[in-house]
Structure 1
């Protein structure tokens, strides 16, 4: 069963930005191609269907322009234009065609006309609409589906942990038709697990691990490589260069889902690392009026609330709005630490015509906190100090003020039932002001002294601009379906960071820390300013999905990228400039998908991605880019009438051309060694994943990852582990069961996150394997209100999140905590 909701993307001021910044050949190729394809695919006037003279011109009547074609596509177009959702089985409708629909109709009359002569009918069930075979040919009963909005892959309202579709590849595609690994974290799972920040989502996602940097930011890894690109509704931005500002503290209240792609995503993103990418998909306005409310309270003085309201603003529903306000305040298991988060989101969608929809929105996020950065030290022999998990080694004047503003706009124009163009742009501005005291230095086991406190100020700001425009559509060659996507993209980052330190500011007794210490009047030890001016990449890409036979599909594509980056650092006694550049760098992708049965597919794929370098060779030239290649084979299943997704993948990533020191040339580069592009690393393993309804009433999201990685070629580290942040074994599991019969109002949930041991090769600190169990009990108080109690770290496991150093960066995982949530939907 699939619920079809087609999204309407929109234009923006970013279009003008790209006209200035993108190479002109991009538009000279894209726009004429869009016009030509539209002309070739336009329906013949003889097939146009006139509107009947019916009295069904109700307040909900709209003008439709749906071309003749496959019934699947016609229904998707109708759902999109009507602002409703339809439940039906895509496999059941395979091969059926519709004569299309032109004119003004109400929903019921429109569906009746669209389905005329197809052998199918629309049925109202429990307030939803499903499409089923007309009697007597009906062979099965389809479960009713009701989802607000008009977007295919939208998960809000589905009440499922599984989504059969994803949009991280520019178009809506079934997961089993994508020859790479993709996880979709749905809105229901975000709510059930109380995954309130993007960081919490990734920490509970198959194959993703974290590492905290000393200044509070977080890095995320997939398949042993850092995730460097973040997409916002499919528009990629490079945000890994801004660790503090990009610590993923942002709320998930405005998101419909999070899509996590594992492997090399060079085709649609350009430069980056081959581990994966994340697509944050925002909630969009709904045609139906709805109000969502949430109140929460929990451990450590945690209180918060959310209000989410949306619906049509005019009689015909062509103008729709949505607003989300989320407020949250909480303390911490760590003494003194606290934070307040405010997130305000507003979005509009407007149908300029039955074929054209524009949208725009803004998100404002504000964090005010008293943080603890740097973590705890250890004894000099590497053993744990055994400190309480509440130990705070900072000062009561520690401060972190983070502000982020996102503005986005997009446009979708549907030439007909087969072809459309999408244009989207995103702008992100963020500032991060930090004043903090932390601790560093191993503790002498005899004297119990030596750690010192360091004070520092960070003043960081950045602006990101992303733009993407693409044309996608369907045509046939020798009777076989072909799906083509052609597009251009651009991203630009500028930043300014000012950092100052006061090292060894005060001595510290870690066993009796005092947070009430004075703030330094000056920071004499280190002051420097760094800038990206700018960090830019542009690209043109294409992907073709070709049906070679009824069961075999070839997916092929490629991207040409232009990249330029200049990073400068200015200190009191020194300065430095690092530059990187790539011109027309080509990143290919090719895959085969074979339909074993209507429910199972097997696939194989190759994709790569490049990463420019700043190191120089003996002759002074910059090293050629690092290339990361992902090889993958696997099987995917869409079971239980489409309600359950399963996958198993074997993968290998080879990353070559990495900079290594050129010992043969000697220390002739400013007193140090030059570099050679001769390093190579390999990461390989397998993943197994399941998401959706495993049996009636039981929702599950489970993923297991095995990974082995090492240096294949490196004069200093050959044979050693490459990614010390990546465990060999990683399990993510969460499930919820709704009791049957008279206990149907009650549901229970439970899950575990487990990972194997890790060792820091520098400090030799070993973090043992650990598992953390979580649980939930929920009760539907009424048909509109649900109360839930979540317990995290159910058995109060004491553990370190990852192996740190003897000097610092040893962070306890959070102790047991409880959160009571009351949610209402109207």
Structure 2
């Protein structure tokens, strides 16, 4: 068996070739994707290689060569048995790629020859050349240490798969990009991800949207949890310091997650313990008294490296551009991996997050005619006793057993407990242009808690049928949420002069209005799933998948004078998925896919029965490229999502359901558009992550809103762009970066408030002080753009975007 290590999937085939005419004709139809690729110029072979920073952990030689292939242009061709069982030493420092290779091969008896960037490996005395054969690609989804914005693979589909082999849209935000842009929270990562928009709920939570739909499931190392059903719990204020990467899947992901909306899914992939001892340090200081630091240490705890550990401590304290607002955000992560045998590894870990904040939720009001009050961005309409204490603890464990080189068992579980206590004063009420009055202050008390449990177990492996490779994954999953939310408020607590607010006001002794308690008890879904990737020909792969899901949810609300119970249930709900991937060339693939997802409802019909689930279907066609020896990924996708069976008012039956109208499962919406994305090294030293999304969405069938926009959180045009360039030659220690986030205008259909389009530019300059230390200065909102983030209401919910800010960071790696 022949294997090779490189992020690219190199295909060498003596039986079939693609003529230039065929390739040209095929790719000419892919105009937008090619327009991105035209920026790519082949890198000339230099007479003398420049040294670069290389960091390779102590591990097997096979994995070490993989890591070297990710960090350099080199790709390796060798017989698999050649490196089996051979350990490799750690290699770190500034050196040429070939020097790093020599260090890895020292003492192994393995020799090599080089042609361009291709390395042939053989045992001393063995053959030095390999005959033309089909060469399979070896991919690693890990991005830490790759120094790249391009990911060679993703694991959101349970197994490591090259992005160009996945017949759906996936974006991977790598560790390098997270560091370069200083994306310190998960919300900040998603705010810079292709196709994703964010809205803020009243009590500090975040909702994420893709393709016009809310993302309802969040995966943790592939284990899905239903985080969106608990708004404060999904605020994602925790640090990204413990993450290797963030994978974002756009489209219907019912196959591996069950119930949800067809917008997509997010997979947060944690850093793993390392066999090599390593220490990462970070210190930061910036605008609004922002200071923080991070320590990340890992290594083997015993002589043979079978027991490995990783610990990350991140401490952060900052003020805000809004007066009075401040927060302390502390996060601790600890993980262990232990090799029970050469074939079995178990892992376990814990993440503890603590947020202590003086917040301002609710935003600013407007004039009663909808125009802006023109208040300063620093305006704070709350009280100095505003308080938000949020605690979260995650515990996880997993097991991987390799039956042989083809078959593997993965078992993983995650438990999360979170609490949120909020005392808050906010403002509501439009301002009369004549009297400049009309706004009142409301005092709130939220006391919320939730527990999440997630489990996933799957077996995946490879076999052949008539000489063609078949990859099979079969698994089971479960997620469970229980929560208790207690809410009380004192309405019209105090009058407010929005132009001269005073934060020094008394805290109410009680919160008498609308005290109520709501519970999810429980919110559970279970499922069994299977996916087969079947090679029909050398170039054509059929992907078939399906899932049977069982769903049950009970939500109760108890108030002083009323109570309510909402239930939803689905049994053996089937969600299919089918896709085709065709390899146009070794670098380009075209694909088409169809995927289902369902969402149970709680509304009832005239006869008292619960409506059948909403069904969403995602249709997608596209093309993907893996260029520059895997250092650059490109994609272009056309998509359409149809969602039907949505609850609408049953006007024909009259108001006979508790004085109101019953519901019918007759609503239908459609979201469609296209996405273009490019990520990785487009020229030597120039890393780019760019994505453009066009979306059109509307109600197709609805008695009240037919023809209107369905998702007001989704702009028609959305651009995410970031680039980083390392200067050549004697300026190699210096790198500069710049980018822009732009989105088109949005209008709130209820308030008719319009938020104009806006663009925010960001920049960075970094310098390698030594081979171990890098200093960087990030400037966000470079041109100090004044804008509102969302189209709010005349009463409230108008939030300014952050003004210009700077952050100085010093990072060290040892």
Shorter-chain TM band = 0.7 to 0.9
Q: Structure 1 residue 580 and structure 2 residue 556: aligned?
A: no
CA displacement at 1:135 relative to structure 2: 6.1
CA distance in 2, matches of 1:333, 1:3: 45
| 1:469/1:132 CA distance change after superposition, 3 Å | farther
Alignment correspondent of 1:374 = 362
Q: Structure 1 residue 315 and structure 2 residue 291: aligned?
A: no
| 1:84/1:804 CA distance change after superposition, 3 Å | same
CA displacement at 1:526 relative to structure 2: 1.1
The answer to whether the 8 A contact 1:418-1:474 is kept is yes
CA distance in 1, matches of 2:176, 2:82: 34
Q: Is the partner of 2:275 in helix, strand or coil?
A: coil
CA displacement at 1:212 relative to structure 2: 1.2
Q: Aligned ranges for residues 515-526 of structure 1 at < 5 Å?
A: 515-526=503-514
Alignment correspondent of 1:402 = 390
Q: Structure 1 residue 565 and structure 2 residue 541: aligned?
A: no
| 1:812/1:406 CA distance change after superposition, 3 Å | same
CA distance in 2, matches of 1:216, 1:794: 26
Q: Over residues 317-337 of structure 1, what are the superposed CA-to-partner deviations in whole Å (9 max), with x where a residue is unaligned?
A: 111000000000000000000
User: Among 61, 66, 69, which residue is 1:87 paired with?
Assistant: 69
| 1:142/1:332 CA distance change after superposition, 3 Å | farther
CA displacement at 1:140 relative to structure 2: 3.7
Q: Over residues 173-201 of structure 1, what are the superposed CA-to-partner deviations in whole Å (9 max), with x where a residue is unaligned?
A: 00000000000000010000000000000
CA distance in 1, matches of 2:110, 2:149: 28
Alignment correspondent of 2:101 = 125
Q: Aligned-pair RMSD on alpha carbons? A: 2.5
CA distance in 2, matches of 1:769, 1:504: 34
Q: Aligned ranges for residues 614-625 of structure 1 at < 5 Å?
A: 614-625=602-613
| 1:537/1:743 CA distance change after superposition, 3 Å | same
Q: Aligned ranges for residues 195-594 of structure 1 at < 5 Å?
A: 195-594=183-582
CA displacement at 1:86 relative to structure 2: 5.0
CA displacement at 1:214 relative to structure 2: 1.7
Q: Is the partner of 1:798 in helix, strand or coil?
A: coil
| 1:136/1:518 CA distance change after superposition, 3 Å | closer
Q: Structure 1 residue 691 and structure 2 residue 676: aligned?
A: no
The answer to whether the 8 A contact 2:6-2:74 is kept is no
CA displacement at 1:524 relative to structure 2: 1.2
CA distance in 2, matches of 1:133, 1:671: 82
| 1:313/1:576 CA distance change after superposition, 3 Å | same
The answer to whether the 8 A contact 1:206-1:732 is kept is yes
Alignment correspondent of 1:775 = 763
CA displacement at 1:216 relative to structure 2: 1.9
Q: Aligned ranges for residues 741-760 of structure 1 at < 5 Å?
A: 741-760=729-748
The answer to whether the 8 A contact 1:691-1:701 is kept is yes
The answer to whether the 8 A contact 2:149-2:174 is kept is yes
Q: Over residues 268-301 of structure 1, what are the superposed CA-to-partner deviations in whole Å (9 max), with x where a residue is unaligned?
A: 0000000010000000001111000000000000
The answer to whether the 8 A contact 2:211-2:672 is kept is yes
CA displacement at 1:152 relative to structure 2: 1.9
CA displacement at 1:810 relative to structure 2: 0.1
Alignment correspondent of 2:11 = none
CA distance in 2, matches of 1:384, 1:680: 35
CA distance in 2, matches of 1:798, 1:143: 57
Q: Over residues 728-767 of structure 1, what are the superposed CA-to-partner deviations in whole Å (9 max), with x where a residue is unaligned?
A: 0000000000000100000000000000000001000000
CA distance in 2, matches of 1:674, 1:416: 57
The answer to whether the 8 A contact 2:143-2:175 is kept is yes
CA distance in 2, matches of 1:450, 1:493: 41
CA displacement at 1:511 relative to structure 2: 0.2
Q: Over residues 690-720 of structure 1, what are the superposed CA-to-partner deviations in whole Å (9 max), with x where a residue is unaligned?
A: 0000110000000000000000000000000
| 1:2/1:735 CA distance change after superposition, 3 Å | farther
CA distance in 2, matches of 1:129, 1:185: 32
| 1:611/1:101 CA distance change after superposition, 3 Å | same
Q: How many residues align?
A: 738
CA distance in 2, matches of 1:543, 1:365: 36
The answer to whether the 8 A contact 2:66-2:140 is kept is no
CA distance in 2, matches of 1:720, 1:105: 63
Q: Over residues 101-151 of structure 1, what are the superposed CA-to-partner deviations in whole Å (9 max), with x where a residue is unaligned?
A: 87x75448xxxxxxxxxxxxx98438567999976684644699xxxxx99
CA distance in 2, matches of 1:61, 1:179: 35
User: Among 710, 725, 728, which residue is 1:722 paired with?
Assistant: 710
CA distance in 2, matches of 1:440, 1:760: 17
Moved over 3 A (4+): 1-5, 82-86, 88-94, 96-102, 104-108, 126-144
CA distance in 1, matches of 2:105, 2:249: 32
CA displacement at 1:87 relative to structure 2: 2.6
Bigger mean CA deviation after superposition, 238-247 or 765-774: 238-247
The answer to whether the 8 A contact 1:83-1:286 is kept is no
Alignment correspondent of 1:643 = 631
CA displacement at 1:210 relative to structure 2: 1.1
Q: Aligned ranges for residues 5-24 of structure 1 at < 5 Å?
A: none
User: Among 566, 589, 593, which residue is 1:601 paired with?
Assistant: 589
Structure 1 length normalisation: TM-score? 0.86
Structure 2 length normalisation: TM-score? 0.88
Alignment correspondent of 1:806 = 794
CA distance in 2, matches of 1:427, 1:132: 47
CA displacement at 1:343 relative to structure 2: 0.2
Q: Aligned ranges for residues 63-74 of structure 1 at < 5 Å?
A: none
| 1:698/1:498 CA distance change after superposition, 3 Å | same
Alignment correspondent of 2:133 = none
CA displacement at 1:649 relative to structure 2: 0.2
CA distance in 1, matches of 2:767, 2:82: 45
| 1:272/1:218 CA distance change after superposition, 3 Å | same
| 1:471/1:90 CA distance change after superposition, 3 Å | farther
User: Among 578, 595, 616, which residue is 1:628 paired with?
Assistant: 616
| 1:358/1:432 CA distance change after superposition, 3 Å | same
Alignment correspondent of 1:47 = none
CA displacement at 1:99 relative to structure 2: 4.3
Q: Is the partner of 1:176 in helix, strand or coil?
A: helix
Alignment correspondent of 2:812 = 824
The answer to whether the 8 A contact 1:224-1:725 is kept is yes
Q: Is the partner of 1:125 in helix, strand or coil?
A: helix
Q: Aligned ranges for residues 70-219 of structure 1 at < 5 Å?
A: 78-79=62-63, 85=67, 87=69, 98-99=80-81, 106-107=87-88, 124-125=100-101, 138=115, 140-141=117-118, 152-219=140-207
The answer to whether the 8 A contact 2:139-2:153 is kept is no
| 1:309/1:126 CA distance change after superposition, 3 Å | farther
CA distance in 2, matches of 1:735, 1:4: 21
Q: Over residues 776-795 of structure 1, what are the superposed CA-to-partner deviations in whole Å (9 max), with x where a residue is unaligned?
A: 00000000000000000000
User: Among 750, 753, 756, which residue is 1:765 paired with?
Assistant: 753
| 1:816/1:143 CA distance change after superposition, 3 Å | farther
Q: Is the partner of 1:173 in helix, strand or coil?
A: coil
CA distance in 2, matches of 1:257, 1:379: 43
Q: Over residues 461-505 of structure 1, what are the superposed CA-to-partner deviations in whole Å (9 max), with x where a residue is unaligned?
A: 000000000000000000000000000000000000100010000
